[in-house]
Structure 1
Amino acid sequence: MNERDEQEFAEYFAAKRDFVRRTAFLLCGDWHRADDLAQVAFVTLHRRWHRIRDRAATDAYLRKTLVRASIDESRRPWRRERQVERLPEPETRDDPVDDRVATRTDLINGLRQVPPKQRAVLVLRYFAGLDVAAVANALGCSEGNVKSQTSRGLATLRNALGAEVETHG
């Protein structure tokens, strides 16, 4: 890569790293894994930087790379759930869920229970603010698939949170 490309990439990286890291955290629910996912996405982008002709499409390419890295990582054998002999005791709450305000922690814990592809769709739709067509393009699937994954993901998230999840869009 020539010096000009290196400089352009460094500027792009500086402008996007925090957003990509936060998006990765929403995809995986762990800051250490989010850092790893963001690094994988940026390394992949860096390798292809000199081939990118349309710089306006760079964000879409980076998002797609990040989501694919997240889904691939979730399939690794060491990421699978493990059986334990004794389940932890559930939290007891005096107030009903309807009377509580959902916290960020509740949302992150709820997202952890949503399967990776559904989680990716929810993060891209509601955090990144993409429309159905853009999510379909990022994930390489049909718009109908995005809609069904959104519906299933929201149902899983509602169940995990134990409350009605309001969505707009």
Structure 2
Amino acid sequence: MLEGNAERSVEATLGHLRTMDGPVTPPPPAAPLTLEDLYRQHRMRLVRLAILLVDEPATAEDVVQEAFTGLHRNWGRLRDAAAAVGYLRTAVVNGSRSVLRRRKTAREYVAPHAVNARSAESLAMLSSEHQAVVSALSKLPPRQREVLVLRYYGGLSEAEISEAAGISKGTVKSTASRALEALQKAMQSPN
């Protein structure tokens, strides 16, 4: 039962953030998909995805920019333009992982310090319940956070999460279950 409450809270919070992004508008059917179209349509959603994974807007922007740069380098070899969004999503997840690994390594050599990376505006736009969920999400291990963010913010299926995160569907299921349980505990315990 506890897991269900956490799942509803995560779904409500990340769904709320997804609706704040607005719908993705596809290009007119007659026009071929261009990198500029992809950038215009998906950039902000990918930035929010990266922010939820790395907790720093500037770093998230860098991760997304690197993903688009990589897509640009490989644009001529792209067989299916529809696969470009999946490529970008996977590149953002992998780029976020790299950032978190570098950050962990740096923290091992430098005394850790608390940084509240979220802007006051972004938190002010969320209710206190949503703020509690976002705060609890930031305390989860990276893989658990990835799975929940991809599922509830990204709106991805288990198969899509499996592909984007490079893990099996079974691992997606078990990680989501453990993450929801940990999230519920984090939201119930006082700071």
State if a TM-score over 0.5 links the two structures. Answer: yes
Over 3 Å counting, the alpha-carbon distance change for 1:118 and 1:35 in structure 2 is: same
> Any unmatched runs of 5+ in structure 1?
1-6, 88-99, 164-169
Moved over 4 A (4+): 79-84
Partner of 1:122: 148
1:78 CA displacement: 2.1
Q: Does 1:69 align with 2:95?
A: yes
Partner of 1:23: 49
1:156 CA displacement: 2.1
Residues 24 and 37 in structure 1, CA contact (< 8 A), matched pair in contact too = yes
Q: Which one has a bigger Cα radius of gyration?
A: 1
**Separation of aligned partners in 2, 1:15 and 1:158:** 34
**Separation of aligned partners in 1, 2:157 and 2:109:** 32
Q: Does 1:78 align with 2:106?
A: yes
Residues 113 and 156 in structure 1, CA contact (< 8 A), matched pair in contact too = no
Report how many residues are paired: 143
Q: Does 1:102 align with 2:129?
A: yes
Partner deviation per Cα, 1:29-51 (whole Å, 9 max, x = no partner): 22122112111211121111111
Partner deviation per Cα, 1:70-119 (whole Å, 9 max, x = no partner): 111111122569657xx9xxxxxxxxxxxx9513x322221111111111
Q: Does 1:134 align with 2:157?
A: no
TM-score, with structure 2 as normaliser: 0.67
Provide the identity percentage.
37
Q: Does 1:147 align with 2:178?
A: no
Picking from 132, 137, 141, the partner of 1:111 is 137
Residues 114 and 157 in structure 1, CA contact (< 8 A), matched pair in contact too = yes
- One-letter amino acid of the structure 1 residue matched with residue 106 of structure 2: W
**Separation of aligned partners in 1, 2:38 and 2:143:** 27
TM-score, with structure 1 as normaliser: 0.75
**Separation of aligned partners in 1, 2:70 and 2:92:** 9
**Separation of aligned partners in 2, 1:153 and 1:15:** 30
**Separation of aligned partners in 2, 1:46 and 1:78:** 30
Partner of 1:45: 71
- One-letter amino acid of the structure 1 residue matched with residue 52 of structure 2: L
> Any unmatched runs of 5+ in structure 2?
1-32, 115-126
Cα RMSD between the aligned structures? 2.5
Residues 54 and 99 in structure 2, CA contact (< 8 A), matched pair in contact too = no
